[in-house]
Amino acid sequence: MHCKETQPSIMPDQSKILLIGPPNVGKSAFFNRFTGMNVSVANYSGTTVDYTAGKLDMGDKSFLLIDVPGTYTLDATNEAERVAVEMLRGKPTGVICVVDANNLESSLYLLLQVLEQGLPVVIALNRFDLAREKGYDIDHARLAKELNVPVIPTVAVTGQGMDRLKENLKETIEKGDIPSLDWGIESDARWEKAETLADRVQKIGTSSLLTRQKLGQWLIQPWPGLLMAFLVLFLVLASVVGIGMGLRRFILLPLFRGAIIPQIIWLVEYMLPAGLWQNILIGEYGFLVKGLEWPFTLVLPYVISFYGALSVLEDSGYLPRLGALLDGLLNRIGLQGSSIIPLLLGFGCGIPGVLATRNLSSPKERIIVSSIICLTVPCISQTGAFISLLAERSIAVFLAVFVVAGIALVISGLILDRRIKGPKLQTLMEIPDLLVPSKEVVFKKVWLRVKHFIMDGALPMMVAVALAALLYETGLMAAWGRLLSPLVTGWLGLPEEAAVPLVLGILRRELTVIPLMEMNLSLLQLFVGAVVALFYVPCVAMIAILAKEFRLHMAFAVLAVTTIISFLAGGIFFRLGSFFLTL
Amino acid sequence: MEKAERACKLAGTGIIQSTLLFILVWFIKGLEYLGSRWILLGHFYGQLFYSKMIETEAKLAGLKPGMKVLHIGSGHLPLTAFCLGSWGYEVEALDNDLQAVSSGKNMIESSGLGSRIKIKQGDGTEVNCSDFDAVWISLHVFPKEEVLRRVISTLKEGGKVIYRNPRGLLKYLYPRMDSSEDMGRGSCQKMKQSMGKETVVLQKCPLGEEENPLTLCCLRKDQEGIIHYVPDNPLLAPLGLRPGKKVRVCARECFGGPVIAEVERRRVALDRLLAGEIIVKKGEPGAL
């Protein structure tokens, strides 16, 4: 989602080529290879939640390649299938149908439906390597002959077969070959044809299970799967915190505090006389000091460590297993196992989390998961700030904040499940093979996220810090603090200046936390501040995405509920904490 | 509702149990009679004890408005029939107590649902259910096992039977029917309800009596079967779950979580309710 997306409808004149296939077959990997762009890929169904378009050059002509969301059939039973059917009706120049060599029969059913559209088609028989490993021997030449359409065995992640596919596509489009049909177009006749074809072209040999296949089966058993799930989640948390702290302490902090910032201070002092403008640039909230230090030494290390861990989880195919293991528990708070993916993405950033809810089976579940992400799931920028603010002072307080978040998640799930009307759908999801994540892909993903954080995270944060500097130096901030003092000081027990992060927090979630670090707060005040920050309004970008994905009133409801809950919870914890401390 | 005296004779194993059951049935009957006279009280009683339960039962059985439903043992206050009728089902309700039939009719007519709900006098042991998509049997019906056998033998293939078993303290008063899976000749799903009840949904499966069908949900871990029937769900076929395919249960998750099934080396996590609707057979694929 974090690349340039072009809406195909904006360019009606350009010839379009569609990339169609079942979910989790590697269509996005083809797309990235052909266009040089980078759309997100992972080892589970439904990574592409919207269509994405990019330029594909073939010889002297250029085409618009469209990555259509994965669909098992063209029966238009869900949103992704409706998108695919609509695109096929839009008269594209050609279609690349990606067929899964591991699940030939059901891929062939979709292929037959695509061929029925009367368009030039080439077939990419993808994941050929995995099929061979499982003992499937597919006679692709025979398949091509049976259907009279070019069939190219490919391995999209390594790029094998890509050039041949492109050549064949070019040839097919130039000739304008349209496949002929010799099967009935009813569902049963199509399944019969798919079955006969699969029987004719595929030989299933015996193969012994590989270690990772055995591991994959082992991890899905309740025992030891649940224990392993607990260990995996613990390891993920430990590596996010550990690696993040290491990156901060040993690399980024020395780099910024030791090398970059002193140079800037020296330069500003040399160029500007002491006064308002110098203070805005390098003073208390100086945006060339805090505006660099906060995003790059406080948040960036955790962005790197979190996305490193998440990419490994995503590409290994472990997440659907985790979803299946926890499905029974999640059902009790109105969610399904598949909700685990948007929730985990939400721990990175709420926006991809909310977008990933599009894959969930019912509107009710979408609303529940999105609300939970907004209310109780801190994004990695905020978590990074929590770690820096709390973990370095007291690990217990840091863990307590996460326990509060966990309890809030369960309670909000229980309440929303009862309040929101709508049918509850039954869990039905594919568990992909366990794969060893490719180092290249993981590094590429982390790099993309870092780039995205710098553009969409660090820059707005610098702007927010500049705003804070301006308010601070002009005395407006102190006035704002006095205005909110009954709430901030009286109710929450925080110093007056803590009113500032409440304004900045609307721009970026982590800014509700970071300024607290500079205020010499007691442990109780830190905890109260962190709880307020945890429940406080999501950032502006999240509000915008909620309004876009749902309705405007949902965005307003989230704003109101988060504000009320954050102050209510903060005040209650302050009173409880003060009471216990006096005992 | 059947006569309480008959209830005691058939269900009771001791004098105390019979007396308690007699008092309980008499009390409920009285309450329902009052409910049928004062309609507001009746609606309140229905909201409190029935509406949610019937909604979950209809959902569990996969029923849709418009279907034809028979309710055996509707009593003075035919709340099951009333709820189903108000949601758009075509309902026929049956009771062998003439007085209960007449107060039931009054209640339905005063609610304006007379066009959708018909109340008749009749005996559950002589009923013909061949016209209905689903049949509800009340907890208070006696002799329940006999009625259930009659219902299943006359029900069409694929039809559903919904009945309630007692649990908790109630099971000391009412007899439980646990051998129902044999009788159902098809899938059997159970769900706990409030107020000491448990709902059982049986589906009469389209198979001959000599065969011994199971559902995917009933298979133990590592047990194999051949898929015989799959419900109407557009995702099942593309995920490989089609009639004639060999299926193996790889795992059954905790906390009522999904069943993990493997078809042609592809693993799929299925909700237990969904797995309970997939009928499997033992044997080799070629046998079908």
Residues B184 and B220 in one domain: no
Buried b (16+ CB within 10 A) or exposed e, A122-132: bbbbbbbeebb
Distance of CA B244 to the CA centre of its chain: 28
Q: Which residues of B touch A327 (CB under 8 A)?
A: 253, 257-258, 269, 271
Q: Which residues of A touch B252 (CB under 8 A)?
A: 222
CA pair distance A536, A340, nearest whole angstrom: 23
Determine, for residues A328 and B237 on separate chains, whether the beta-carbon distance falls below 8 Å: no
Check if A468 contacts B (Cβ < 8 Å).
Answer: no
**CA nearest neighbour of B183 among B140, B141, B216, B154:** B154
Residues B199 and B219 in one domain: no
* Residue that terminates a domain, selected from B154, B175, B203: B203
Contact A257, A248 (CB under 8 A): no
Buried b (16+ CB within 10 A) or exposed e, A138-149: bebeebbebbeb
Neighbours of B210 (CB within 10 A): 5
B269: nearest CB among A187, A222, A337: A337
Whole-number pLDDT of residue A531: 92
Q: Are strands B224-229 and B246-252 parallel, antiparallel or unpaired?
A: antiparallel
Per-domain residue ranges for chain A? 8-204, 222-582
Query: pLDDT tens, B231-255?
Result: 888 889 889 999 989 999 999 998 8
Residues B220 and B281 in one domain: yes
Residues B151 and B230 in one domain: no
Structural domain tally of chain B?
2
Contact B257, A337 (CB under 8 A): yes
Backbone angles phi, psi at A283, to 5 degrees: -80, -150
B260: nearest CB among A109, A331, A431: A431
Beta-ladder partners of A202: A138
Handedness of CA A71, A73, A78, A81 (dihedral sign): positive
pLDDT above 60: residue A573 = yes
Neighbours of A267 (CB within 10 A): 13
Whole-number pLDDT of residue A41: 61
Q: Show the tokens assigned to A61.
A: 């002509």
Check if A324 contacts B (Cβ < 8 Å).
Answer: yes
Whole-number pLDDT of residue B207: 52
Query: pLDDT tens, B140-161?
Result: 787 877 788 788 877 877 788 8
Mean pLDDT of A236-257: 89
Check if A494 contacts B (Cβ < 8 Å).
Answer: no
Q: Which residues of B touch A109 (CB under 8 A)?
A: 237-238
Q: Which residues of A touch B256 (CB under 8 A)?
A: 328, 331
Whole-number pLDDT of residue A408: 94
Q: In which band, very low, low, confident or very high, does the pLDDT at B287 lie, cut at 50, 70 and 90?
A: very low
CA distances from A132 to A79, A102, B238 (A): 33, 9, 22
Contact A82, A75 (CB under 8 A): no
* Residue that terminates a domain, selected from B203, B227, B259: B203
Whole-number pLDDT of residue B210: 44
Check if B195 contacts A (Cβ < 8 Å).
Answer: no
pLDDT above 70: residue A59 = yes
Q: Which residues of B touch A320 (CB under 8 A)?
A: 269
Q: In which band, very low, low, confident or very high, does the pLDDT at A10 lie, cut at 50, 70 and 90?
A: very low
Angle in degrees, CA B146, B150, B156, rounded to 5: 150
Residues B59 and B189 in one domain: yes
CA pair distance A253, B10, nearest whole angstrom: 83
Q: How many CA atoms lie within 13 A of A106 on its CB side?
A: 22
Whole-number pLDDT of residue B50: 78
Whole-number pLDDT of residue A11: 45
Determine, for residues A105 and B269 on separate chains, whether the beta-carbon distance falls below 8 Å: no
Lowest-pLDDT choice from A15-24, A37-46, A180-189, B82-91? A37-46
Burial of A495 (0-12, 13-18, 19+ CB in 10 A): middle
Name which residue leads in pLDDT, B188 or A307: A307
pLDDT above 70: residue A100 = yes
Lowest-pLDDT choice from A144-158, A302-316, A460-474? A460-474
ipTM of the complex: 0.81
Residues B110 and B247 in one domain: no
B250: nearest CB among A191, A217, A323: A217
CA torsion A92-A94-A96-A99 (nearest 10°) is 90
Determine, for residues A222 and B240 on separate chains, whether the beta-carbon distance falls below 8 Å: no
A216 Cβ contact partners less than 8 Å away, ≥ 6 residues apart: A317, A321, A433, A434
Mean pLDDT of A397-407: 91
Residues B192 and B257 in one domain: no
3-class state of residue A381 by DSSP:
helix
Q: In which band, very low, low, confident or very high, does the pLDDT at B171 lie, cut at 50, 70 and 90?
A: low
3-class secondary structure for A48-86? CCCCEEEEEEECCEEEEEEECCCCCCCCCCCHHHHHHHH
Check if A196 contacts B (Cβ < 8 Å).
Answer: no
3-class state of residue B255 by DSSP:
coil
CA pair distance B227, B281, nearest whole angstrom: 6
Q: Chain B: residue nearest A217 by CA?
A: B250
Q: Chain A: residue nearest B237 by CA?
A: A106
Residues B192 and B249 in one domain: no
The CATH number of whichever domain residue B49 belongs to comes to: 3.40.50.150
Mean pLDDT of chain B: 78
A426: nearest CB among B242, B250, B273: B273
Across chain A, which distance is largest between two alpha carbons, in Å?
86
pLDDT above 90: residue A442 = no
pLDDT above 60: residue A4 = no
- DSSP, res B190: E
Check if A225 contacts B (Cβ < 8 Å).
Answer: yes
Side chain identity, residue B34: L
Side chain identity, residue B233: N
Interface test with B, best of A431, A433, A434, A435 (most B CBs within 10 A): A431
Which ranges constitute the DSSP H helices of A317-378?
Answer: 318-331, 340-348, 350-356, 363-376
Whole-number pLDDT of residue A353: 86
Distance of CA A188 to the CA centre of its chain: 38
Mean pLDDT of A184-213: 82
Give the whole-number percent of chain A exceeding pLDDT 70: 94
Whole-number pLDDT of residue A49: 58
Q: Specify whether domain A8-204 bears CATH 3.40.50.1260.
A: no
CA pair distance A559, B172, nearest whole angstrom: 53
Determine, for residues A428 and B269 on separate chains, whether the beta-carbon distance falls below 8 Å: yes
Q: Which range scores top for mean pLDDT: A401-415, A422-436, B43-57?
A: A401-415
Residues B31 and B89 in one domain: yes
Q: Which residues of B touch A331 (CB under 8 A)?
A: 255-257
pLDDT above 70: residue B284 = no
Q: In which band, very low, low, confident or very high, does the pLDDT at B12 lie, cut at 50, 70 and 90?
A: very low
pLDDT above 90: residue A487 = no
Check if B143 contacts A (Cβ < 8 Å).
Answer: no
Lowest-pLDDT choice from A268-282, A319-333, A512-526, B200-214? B200-214
Q: How many CA atoms lie within 13 A of A93 on its CB side?
A: 21
Residues B189 and B256 in one domain: no
Q: Show the tokens assigned to A461.
A: 């944060």
Residues B55 and B173 in one domain: yes
Contact A334, A413 (CB under 8 A): yes
pTM of the model: 0.71
Determine, for residues B265 and A102 on separate chains, whether the beta-carbon distance falls below 8 Å: yes
3-class state of residue A141 by DSSP:
helix
Q: Residue B219: which domain range?
A: 214-287
CA pair distance A293, A41, nearest whole angstrom: 32
Q: Show the tokens assigned to A210.
A: 């590989």
* Residue that terminates a domain, selected from B203, B230, B252: B203
CA pair distance A44, A63, nearest whole angstrom: 28
Beta-ladder partners of B281: B226
Buried b (16+ CB within 10 A) or exposed e, A60-98: eeebbbbbbbbbbbbbeebebbebbbebbeeebbbbbbb
Residues B222 and B186 in one domain: no
Whole-number pLDDT of residue A365: 86
Check if A224 contacts B (Cβ < 8 Å).
Answer: no
CA pair distance A268, A277, nearest whole angstrom: 10
Number of Cβ pairs < 8 A linking chain A and chain B: 103
pLDDT above 60: residue A13 = no
Interface test with B, best of A325, A329, A330, A434 (most B CBs within 10 A): A325
CA pair distance A111, A94, nearest whole angstrom: 14
Mean pLDDT of B8-16: 55
Distance from CA of B138 to the nearest CA of A (A): 26
